[in-house]
């Protein structure tokens, strides 16, 4: 018997649907981490755009 949220939450909890949707639609694999060497300027606009992952970022950004 798998242990998890389904055993600790009421069967009609909205959280069960939420986690089910996460499992179904956002199952993309293991997390990936990037390590940068010293000297990378995270404070500059170019540095931030080089690692960002939202709308408006550089098309060749790290994430």
Q: Give pLDDT tens digits for 3-62.
A: 555 566 777 888 788 878 877 887 666 667 778 778 888 889 888 888 888 887 888 887
In this predicted model, what pLDDT tens digit does every residue of 39-51 receive, in sequence order? Answer: 888 889 888 888 8
Q: Are 42 and 13 contacting, i.e. CB atoms less than 8 angstroms apart?
A: no
Judge if pTM exceeds 0.85.
no
Domain that holds residue 25: 5-51
Residue 37 lies inside a defined structural domain of this protein: yes
Residue 42 lies inside a defined structural domain of this protein: yes
Residue 61 lies inside a defined structural domain of this protein: no
pLDDT of residue 11: 79
pLDDT of residue 63: 67
Residue 25 lies inside a defined structural domain of this protein: yes
- Count of domains for the chain: 1
**From the centroid of its chain, how far is CA 27?**
11
pLDDT of residue 47: 85
Residue 32 lies inside a defined structural domain of this protein: yes
Residue 57 lies inside a defined structural domain of this protein: no
């Amino acid at each position: 018997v798998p242990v998890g949220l389904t055993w600790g939450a009421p069967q009609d909890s909205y959280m069960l649907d939420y986690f089910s949707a996460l499992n179904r639609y956002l199952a993309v694999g293991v997390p990936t981490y990037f390590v940068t060497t010293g000297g990378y300027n995270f404070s500059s606009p170019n540095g931030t755009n080089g690692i960002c992952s939202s709308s408006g970022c550089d098309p060749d950004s790290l994430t």
